[in-house]
Structure 1
Amino acid sequence: MKWNLRLAAANRGIWKASELHRMLAERGMVISAGKMSGLWSGSPNAIKLDELDVICVVLGCGVDELLLPEPEKVPAAVPAADGEQAVAAAAHTRAVTPRPRTGRSLPPR
């Protein structure tokens, strides 16, 4: 995914991170200068969904304008041979063993 906040803000006449920071604070989203820098520069470490809601309301846009999919960056699926698929499927299934009725669990194997 590509973070597109700066362009979305510019389309609405917001050219400075400090101006957007003030607008977000007016809506109750108080964030540090470091986090604002990450959001503005295009490389946020993390963003909460409620923060995304506030940004969308302030800018008057949808999430689809802030987050742009980049399907070309997703690696292609590697086809497995028929025998390898059966082995892989068996490796992912674990046998279920019932617990004894003593009320205590068994130690790990």
Structure 2
Amino acid sequence: MGRADSMKWNLRLAAANRGIWKASELRRMLAERGVEMSVGKMSGLWSGQPNVLRPEELDAFCAVLGCEISELITAEPEAVPAPQSRMQERSSAVGQDGAVVDSTRIVTPRAQTGRSLPPR
């Protein structure tokens, strides 16, 4: 799972609901299911929002905890910014140097200057 600020990671709560109070205990249970996880990764998943979570790891958490994915990850749609209108998007593009650029400008390709085209 990529990082999504609009999602809430509830691993500790799901584990606590099943009487699991330590990351090391959950890590041991995962290892018994064949999912080896480093202490560092487990600590990060236990204490914060995951940066990366493979589907098989998510499946293992659900199997060990006896829960559905929706108990581990809940959506927070109010945390997602409202979409801009097409005109706002066009007029507020930012260039590489950080300057605001008017993206409604039409770009016209230059004429060929004697260079050969790449092979097909």
Q: TM-score, normalised by structure 1?
A: 0.73
Q: For this pair of structures, how many residues does the alignment match?
A: 89
Which structure is higher in RCO with an 8 Å CA cutoff and minimum separation 6?
A: 1
Offset from partner CA, 1:57-103 (integer Å, 9 cap, x none): 0000000000010111111011234xx6xx87x99xxxxxxxxxxxx
Q: Percent identity?
A: 65
Higher strand proportion (structure 1 or 2): 2
Gaps in structure 1 of 5+ consecutive residues: 92-105
Gaps in structure 2 of 5+ consecutive residues: 1-6, 91-102, 108-116
| Aligned: 1:54 with 2:60 | yes
Q: Pairwise mapping of residues 1-109 of structure 1 onto structure 2 (< 5 A)?
A: 1-81=7-87, 106-107=117-118
Q: TM-score, normalised by structure 2?
A: 0.67
Residues of 2 paired with 1:107 and 1:71: CA distance?
46
Offset from partner CA, 1:9-32 (integer Å, 9 cap, x none): 000000111110110000001110
The ranges of structure 1 where at least 4 consecutive aligned residues each deviate by more than 4 angstroms after the TM superposition are none
Offset from partner CA, 1:19-57 (integer Å, 9 cap, x none): 101100000011100000011002222100011001100
Of the structure 1 ranges 27-36 and 37-46, higher mean CA displacement relative to structure 2 is found in 37-46
Higher helix proportion (structure 1 or 2): 1
